[in-house]
Structure 1
Amino acid sequence: MELDEVIFNRMSVRYYEERSVEEEKLEDLIKSAIRAPTASGLENWLFVVYKDENIRKRIHEIMYEAHAEYYRAYGLPEEKIEKLKAKIFEKGMYKAPVYVGVFVDKETRFLKGKEYEEIEFLWSVESAAMAIENLMLKAVELGLGTCYIGVTSLEKYQRELREIAELGENWYLVGLVPVGYPAEKITPRPRRKSLEKILKII
């Protein structure tokens, strides 16, 4: 598969088949993820693969709770949040055979001064975000679907996901990625904004 084909066929997949993802494919995803650039060469990331059935059930519930909080904060009416609830619990949206949590260690630093703490944290998050993109592109090549979930990084949800993984408070959840075989047709959508609106050459 050519790189262009992989890039332009990546999309957010929200419905997955029930079949499990092969161990070797999971390893390939992580091997690809860690080829991403890593600020200061720290590699202060951790990839937690949640496979246990009971844990996945709770994560699926967390995904609804986090989305509901997010949409309430945005001002979405309760009837629309109820429709989301039906999609998640009745239709199985985001219900995947595997979830990958991508964490960074806030205490692993290169520059020790307090004044660099914030920028180093941002660099770590950027590194993890690039790793997530690598993972997602590799998934396309392997016939798998993914979806970036950011709302689980809201504090109370990421705290629970840390606790499930037995991680300390120094670990920050950058994103949670459902992984599985798509149960829906992959039809990439064009971006809303044209190249002319988002590109500035000076």
Structure 2
Amino acid sequence: MELKEAISKRVSIRYYENREVEEEKVNALIEAAIRAPTASGLENWFFVIYKSEQARKRIHEIMFESHIEYYQARGLPEEKVKKLKSKILENGMYKAPVYIGVFIERGIGVLKDSKYTQLEFIWAIESAAGAIENLMLKAVELGLGTCYIGVTSLDKYQKELREMAGLEDNWYLVGVIPVGYPTERISPRARRKSLDTIMRVV
């Protein structure tokens, strides 16, 4: 598969087969992830593979709870919130055989002056984001689907997901990635904005 095809077929998958993802494929995803650029060469990332039945059940509940909080904060009508409840809890949206939590460690950097602390934190997040994209493209090649979930980084859910993984408070959750074999058809959508509206040559 050429890179162009993988990029095109990388779409957010929200429904998965009730089928285990092979260990070698999970390992291949992480191996691809850590080939991403890493700020200051720190490799400041950590990947937690949530695959036990208990962990997956709770993460699926967290997916629902965090999405509800997000949509309520956006001011969505209660009717739409109820539809989301039906999609996630009853129809199994985001119910995956594997979830990958991508963490970075706070306070890790090479610059001594504290005025750079926030910037190095942002660099670490950017490094993790690059790793996530690598992981997702590798998943396409392996016939797997993924979806980036950011709402799990809301404070109370982040804390719980850290505790589930046995991580201390200095670890920050950048995102959770459901991984599995898609049940839905891969249908890439065109972007709403054209190149001339999102690009400037100077």
The normalised TM-score by structure 2 is: 0.99
**Match for residue 145 of structure 2?**
145
Q: Specify every segment of 5 or more residues in structure 1 that has no aligned partner in the other structure, as ranges.
A: none
SS in 1 for 2:201: coil
TM alignment of 1:14-93, pairs within 5 A: 14-93=14-93
**Equivalent residue for 1:188?**
188
Question: Which residue number corresponds to residue 109 of structure 2?
Answer: 109
Supply the distance in 1 between the matched residues of 2:101 and 2:170 (Cα, whole angstroms).
Answer: 15
The 1-side partners of 2:138 and 2:115 are apart by: 37
Question: Are 2:99 and 1:95 equivalent residues in the alignment?
Answer: no
Counterpart residue identity of residue 80, structure 1: K
3-state SS of 1:70 partner: helix
Kindly provide the CA deviation profile for residues 125-179 of structure 1, in whole angstroms up to 9, marking residues without a partner as x.
0000000000000000000000000000011100000000010010000010000
Q: Using the alignment, how far apart are the partners of 1:146 and 1:110 within structure 2?
A: 33
Distance in structure 2 (CA, Å) of the matches to 1:72 and 1:52: 30
Kindly state the Cα deviation for residue 60 of structure 1 after the two structures are TM-superposed. 0.2
Alignment root-mean-square deviation, CA: 0.6
User: What percentage of aligned pairs have identical amino acids?
Assistant: 68
Residue 107 of structure 2 contacts residue 121 of structure 2 at CA under 8 Å; is this kept in 1? no
CA distance in 1, matches of 2:164, 2:78: 30
C-alpha distance in structure 2 between counterparts of 1:201 and 1:144, whole Å: 37
Deviation by residue 1:27-76 (Cα, 9 ceiling, x = unmatched): 00000000000000001100000000011000000011000000000000
Query: Which has the larger displacement, 109-118 or 128-137?
Result: 109-118
Task: Find the residue that maps to 1:182 and give its secondary structure.
Answer: coil
Q: What is the count of residue pairs matched by the alignment?
A: 202
Structure 2 runs not aligned, ≥5 long: none
SS at match of 1:178: strand
Q: Which runs of 4+ in 1 moved over 4 A?
A: none
Q: Distance in 2 between matches of 1:94 and 1:151?
A: 13
Partners of 2:198 and 2:107 in 1: CA distance? 35
| 2:167 counterpart letter in structure 1 | L
SS of 2:94's equivalent in the other structure is coil
Deviation at 1:199, TM superposition (A): 1.1
Superposed, 1:117-156 pairs within 5 Å as 117-156=117-156
Once the two structures are TM-superposed, the CA of residue 110 in structure 1 deviates from its matched residue by 1.2
**SS of residue matched to 2:46:** strand
Normalization by structure 1: what TM-score?
0.99
**Residue of structure 2 equivalent to 1:11:** 11
Local SS of the residue matching 2:99: strand
**Hey, what's the Cα distance between the residues in 1 that align with 2:57 and 2:169?**
23
